């Protein structure tokens, strides 16, 4: 009888363990909020969990474009040409035909507001001569500013093997962008743009709805869920927040608003943890999370539809977000007139000029690895392997 009893207990335990193993994993949402001036971390959760960046990648693409302008390699009027290679990128995109041109100023608006994947590649080719060369520069820059666990494989964030980041690293990038390029901060905060008769509004629901919101970028693929890097300024204080893996567009906006409001109203002194002193933590953090099953299931899509009213408008439930009671403020983002009778290279467009690396010119104080990581950590960062294979991306809409 005693043996039978023990066998029954073992059987019950096996059933319980089996049930737990089959349960769906809880939807994680790594996050962090930081004061830009001091680098002080106000709040964080799973900040070192590797995650797919999706279109948050485009912050780095813009960062390198700003660097090229600041060094004198380019100007905001420099023509960007759409190549055959760039034009083949899947949506979200501007659908320019090969050979069509637009100034860098317009390209950055297409990139940050519309999240145009084709334009991201066109910018990469203009800055570095090819997408592959640009990706190498992206990764070198990431290491230089202290992004400890990030690897880029393309300039737009479309699905690609070996691409990952963390909430911590995205905060490092956001702070570096705000500190090093304050003169270009407006590109992260446009409500929308007009090109011809077309208008496009920003996917960032905080802009115009959260007091002081002034950027930065959203991103979405099935594997990552809904990501967002946000910034806001009140009374001269600028803070940034990062939210990864939210279940919907509204959820990432509401979480971002909550983090930003807490950071803006925080009174914690400068002795608190900073981006530099925050040590990596979290079991299994080096495995890139993939939440496709939770984000792109029929059930998840149906749940997101419930966030809209009868007119299809998103319903926001945060006390920190208000309805936009006016039309979005649009800026002009014209393309350039077509060149009649001029033959344009229809493949890669090598146009880069030599420019200094490392310390940036201008009055802004450059952010280096020492600002975010200890020297020992910086020394351990492995160099980028030459030759990056860019996988063919699967088309996915940007939200």
165-196 pLDDT tens trace:
999 999 999 999 999 999 999 999 999 999 99
Whether 97 is covered by a domain: the verdict is yes
- Where does the pLDDT of residue 340 fall: very low under 50, low under 70, confident under 90, or very high at 90 and above? low
Say what the pLDDT of residue 269 is. 55
**pTM (2 d.p.):** 0.82
- Where does the pLDDT of residue 159 fall: very low under 50, low under 70, confident under 90, or very high at 90 and above? very high
Say what the pLDDT of residue 383 is. 31
Residue 306 CA from chain centroid, whole number: 26
Whether the predicted pLDDT of 146 surpasses 80: yes
- Where does the pLDDT of residue 267 fall: very low under 50, low under 70, confident under 90, or very high at 90 and above? confident
Specify the number of domains making up the chain.
1
Say what the pLDDT of residue 27 is. 55
Whether 287 is covered by a domain: the verdict is yes
Give the residue from 112, 109, 130 showing the smallest Cα distance to 121.
130
- Average confidence (pLDDT) over 239-248: 97
- The pLDDT mean for the chain works out to 83
Lowest mean pLDDT among 78-82, 116-120, 218-222, 388-392: 388-392
Q: Higher-confidence residue: 137 or 266?
A: 137
Q: Say if CB 203 and CB 249 are below 8 A apart.
A: yes
Whether 1 is covered by a domain: the verdict is no
Whether the predicted pLDDT of 2 surpasses 80: no
Whether the predicted pLDDT of 14 surpasses 50: no
Structure tokens at 388: 């990056």
Whether 398 is covered by a domain: the verdict is no
- Where does the pLDDT of residue 8 fall: very low under 50, low under 70, confident under 90, or very high at 90 and above? very low
- Average confidence (pLDDT) over 66-78: 98
Residues 6+ apart with CB under 8 A from 3: none
Say what the pLDDT of residue 352 is. 47
Task: State the DSSP code for 246.
Answer: E
Q: List C-alpha distances in Å: 326 to 73, 164, 209, 336, 399.
A: 39, 38, 11, 30, 22
Give the residue from 214, 205, 396, 206 showing the smallest Cα distance to 314.
205
Task: State the DSSP code for 98.
Answer: T
What percentage of residues in the chain have a pLDDT greater than 90? 71
- Average confidence (pLDDT) over 354-364: 41
Among 5-19, 252-266, 372-386, the range of highest mean pLDDT: 252-266
Task: State the DSSP code for 215.
Answer: E
Say what the pLDDT of residue 325 is. 87
Whether the predicted pLDDT of 133 surpasses 50: yes
- Where does the pLDDT of residue 314 fall: very low under 50, low under 70, confident under 90, or very high at 90 and above? confident
Q: Which residues pair with 193 in a beta bridge?
A: 200, 331
Whether 196 is covered by a domain: the verdict is yes
Whether the predicted pLDDT of 365 surpasses 90: no
Say what the pLDDT of residue 354 is. 47
- Where does the pLDDT of residue 51 fall: very low under 50, low under 70, confident under 90, or very high at 90 and above? very high
Instruction: Give CA–CA dist 78/16, Å, rounded.
Output: 64
- Average confidence (pLDDT) over 290-295: 96
Q: Which residues are catalytic?
A: 55, 58, 115
Q: What b-and-e string marks burial along 131-155, b requiring 16 or more CB atoms within 10 Å of the CB?
A: bbbbbbbbbebbbbbbbbbbbbbbb
Residue 178 sits in a domain whose CATH number is 3.40.710.10
Whether 13 is covered by a domain: the verdict is no
**Helix (H) or strand (E) segment spanning residue 244:** strand 237-246
Whether 6 is covered by a domain: the verdict is no
Whether the predicted pLDDT of 76 surpasses 70: yes
Identify the three-state secondary structure at position 162: coil
Task: State the DSSP code for 113.
Answer: I
- Where does the pLDDT of residue 61 fall: very low under 50, low under 70, confident under 90, or very high at 90 and above? very high
Say what the pLDDT of residue 29 is. 92
Say what the pLDDT of residue 268 is. 62
Whether 22 is covered by a domain: the verdict is no
- Domain of residue 307: give its range: 33-380
> In the block, which residue shows the tokens 């007091």?
211
What distance, in Å, lies between the first and last C-alpha atoms of the chain? 62
Bridge pairing between strands 330-332 and 192-195: parallel
- Where does the pLDDT of residue 309 fall: very low under 50, low under 70, confident under 90, or very high at 90 and above? confident
In the chain, what are the helix, strand and coil shares in percent, each to the nearest 5?
Answer: 35, 15, 50
């Amino acid at each position: 009888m005693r043996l039978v009893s023990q066998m029954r207990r073992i059987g019950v335990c096996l059933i319980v363990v089996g049930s737990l193993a089959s349960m769906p994993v809880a939807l994680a949402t790594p996050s962090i909020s930081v004061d830009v001036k001091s680098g002080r971390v106000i709040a964080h959760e799973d900040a070192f969990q590797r995650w797919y960046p999706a279109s948050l990648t485009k912050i780095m693409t813009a960062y390198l474009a700003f660097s090229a302008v600041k060094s004198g390699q380019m100007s905001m009027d420099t023509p960007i040409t759409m190549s055959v290679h760039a034009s083949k990128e899947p949506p979200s995109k501007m659908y320019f035909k090969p050979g069509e041109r637009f100034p860098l100023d317009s390209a950055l608006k297409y990139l940050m507001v519309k999240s145009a994947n084709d334009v991201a590649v066109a910018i990469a080719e203009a800055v570095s001569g090819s997408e592959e060369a640009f990706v190498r520069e992206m990764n070198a820059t990431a290491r230089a500013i202290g992004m400890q666990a990030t690897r880029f494989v393309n300039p737009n964030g479309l699905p690609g093997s070996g691409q990952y980041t963390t909430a911590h690293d995205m905060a490092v990038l956001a702070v570096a962008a705000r500190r090093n390029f304050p003169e270009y901060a407006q590109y992260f905060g446009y409500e929308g743009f007009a090109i011809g008769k077309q208008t496009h509004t920003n996917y960032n629901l905080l802009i115009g709805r959260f007091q002081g919101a002034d950027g930065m970028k959203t991103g979405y693929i099935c594997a990552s869920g809904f990501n967002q890097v946000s910034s806001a300024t009140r009374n001269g204080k600028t803070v940034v927040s990062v939210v990864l893996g939210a279940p919907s567009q509204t959820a990432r906006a509401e979480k971002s608003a909550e983090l930003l409001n807490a950071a803006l109203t925080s009174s914690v002194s400068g002795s608190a943890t900073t981006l530099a002193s925050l040590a990596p933590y979290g079991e299994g953090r080096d495995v890139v999370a993939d939440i496709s099953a939770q984000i792109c299931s029929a059930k998840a899509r149906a749940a997101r539809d419930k966030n809209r009213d009868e007119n299809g408008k998103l319903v926001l439930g945060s006390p920190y977000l208000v309805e936009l009671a006016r039309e979005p403020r649009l800026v002009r983002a014209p393309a350039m007139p077509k060149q009649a009778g001029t033959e344009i290279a229809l493949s890669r467009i090598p146009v880069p000029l030599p420019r200094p690396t490392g310390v940036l010119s201008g009055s802004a104080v450059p952010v280096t690895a020492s600002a975010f990581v200890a020297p020992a950590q910086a020394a351990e960062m492995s160099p980028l392997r030459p030759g990056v294979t860019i996988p063919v991306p699967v088309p996915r809409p940007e939200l």
